[in-house]
Amino acid sequence: MEGLTKIVTSILFFFLFTSPSTAEIKSINIRSDNRPMILFQNFGFTHAGNITVAISAVSVTSSLSQPDPTRLGFFLLSEDSLLQLLLELEQNPNLCVLSSKFISLLFTLRDLSPPPQSSYSKTYPVTYPGEYSLFFANCYPQSVVTMHVHTELFNSDDGVTKDYLSVGLTQLPSLYFVFSLIYVWFLALWISLCFKNTRPVKRIHLLMTALLVTKTLSLICATVDNHEVKVTGTHNGWNVLFNSFQFMNVLISFVVIVLIGAGWPYLKPVLLEKEKKVLKIVIPLQILANVASIVIGETGPYVEYWFTWNQVFLLVDFIACCAVIFPIVWSIRSFRKSDVKSGRNVTVFRMFGFMVICYLLFTRFGVFVMKTIADYKQMWVCYAAEELGSLVLYLVVFYMFRPVLVEDEYSLVVVADDKGVYEEAPDMAKG
């Protein structure tokens, strides 16, 4: 019964946290692994799909009797057959998943060549379109498996050209290219505006410029990276550049949100102690979240602690998202307690807070729900929606806090820190 629970839980987690992948050519080492199920890749096939699986240096050890090789092997599971398989396993807890009629068995370890090679390699056609997952099953709980696995999943609609992107993600290079052009135009417009209004340009505008630069570069790298994977099945180093710029962009974006929310440098020349504490919390959390995100993206569920990294990412990212809201709330409270007419500032910060909350909810929960329920053929729409959400936030925030001259740039706004110290601060510079 415990083995059944592990299998069912594994399958549910696989389909909950994974989406059709770029399916780049992978070479994976499995060492002393006793998991009942290992997911290697999830891929959307057309009517002309192919899957190549090659394993070598296979060894199976057990503390009990010699394992039956027919109870260890690779299989494909379609998303349409998931519920039927789970019901079958629930009705028959002792059933080996390799014996199920709802899977497509590729081969078992009985098909291996004799030692010392202990290898097997074959290409299988996938003629029925759908979303499939490549699994390895170990129906012998007391055994551990060591092997080298090489996989290639691709579509070849014309019979010649290989497309290593899932059928729902093959549009990603074009999608990221379009958004990169939009951000290049956005960046040029922003730099032009800063040069035309040099006097009101503040340090926050330099950070906002860096935010646009890293976002633009990350999209350019994403375009080339996905194109390389689509054509060759390998990243050719572009994933390193993408991860680097994406890391910087996410980190700068959270810093900018905290600083603007705190009113720096519009409303006060220095941050209050509690706002500094928020930055000290948000920055390490986002560094950890970005590291977890890179591990998740660069490996896969075949890594034993992959789901743990998913949980770490969700937890720390959620805490960081909650933390960035506090400076905005504190700023609005300071306006209400002020003796000056700061109604405009309250309106601006309310709108800013509303936009940030909507953005965080949409990109963290909305997009996740979309990826869960979307058809595998339309998965690119989820990525488009995520990028569109980011673009809308950028446009609104950059317009609200653009460098412009006003007649009365400075006014007395009472801002108190935790120790009751009050200081004079400039009013919101906004046209």
Report CA-CA distances (Å) from 77 to 122, 236, 341. 18, 30, 64
Q: Residue 348's pLDDT is what?
A: 80
User: Per DSSP, what are the bridge partners of residue 389?
Assistant: none
Write out the two tokens for 8: 């069912």
CB 377 within 8 A of CB 167: yes
Place of tokens 């740039």: 409
Give yes or no for residue 414 having a pLDDT over 90: no
DSSP 8-state code for residue 293: H
| Phi, psi dihedrals of residue 418, rounded to the nearest 5° | -65, -25
CA distance linking residue 274 with residue 403, whole number of Å: 27
pLDDT digits (tens, 9 = 90+) for 152-187: 999 998 888 999 999 999 999 999 999 999 999 999
pLDDT digits (tens, 9 = 90+) for 276-286: 999 999 999 99
Instruction: For residue 259, give the nearest of 181, 202, 317, 179 by alpha carbon.
Output: 202
Centroid of chain to Cα 185? 26
CATH architecture of 172-420: Up-down Bundle (1.20)
Residues whose CB falls within 8 Å of the CB of residue 29, separated by 6 or more in sequence, listed in order: 147, 148, 149
CA distance linking residue 211 with residue 97, whole number of Å: 49
Which phi-psi region, left, alpha or beta, contains residue 229 (left: φ > 0; alpha: ψ -120 to 50)? alpha
CA distance linking residue 30 with residue 302, whole number of Å: 8
User: Per DSSP, what are the bridge partners of residue 151?
Assistant: 26, 53
Mean residue pLDDT across the chain: 86
CA distance linking residue 24 with residue 235, whole number of Å: 8
The amino acid occupying position 275 is E
Residues whose CB falls within 8 Å of the CB of residue 9, separated by 6 or more in sequence, listed in order: none
The domain locations on the chain are 2-155, 172-420
CA distance linking residue 77 with residue 243, whole number of Å: 31
CA distance linking residue 263 with residue 348, whole number of Å: 11
Share of the chain above pLDDT 70, in %: 86
Predicted confidence band of residue 244 (pLDDT cuts 50, 70, 90) = very high
Where does residue 111 rank: exposed (0-12), middle (13-18), buried (19+ CB within 10 A)?
middle
Residues whose CB falls within 8 Å of the CB of residue 383, separated by 6 or more in sequence, listed in order: 169, 172, 175
CA distance linking residue 302 with residue 148, whole number of Å: 12
Q: Residue 416's pLDDT is what?
A: 42
Instruction: For residue 355, give the nearest of 315, 295, 395 by alpha carbon.
Output: 395
Whether the pTM exceeds 0.85: the reply is: yes
Write out the two tokens for 218: 């990350």
Q: What's the start-to-end Cα distance of the chain, in Å? A: 67
CA distance linking residue 337 with residue 314, whole number of Å: 36
CA distance linking residue 56 with residue 71, whole number of Å: 18
Give yes or no for residue 22 having a pLDDT over 90: no
CA distance linking residue 176 with residue 383, whole number of Å: 9
DSSP 8-state code for residue 114: P
DSSP string, 33-67: E--SEEEEEEEEE-TTEEEEEEEEEEEEEESSSPP
pLDDT digits (tens, 9 = 90+) for 356-385: 999 999 999 999 999 989 999 999 999 999
Predicted confidence band of residue 201 (pLDDT cuts 50, 70, 90) = confident
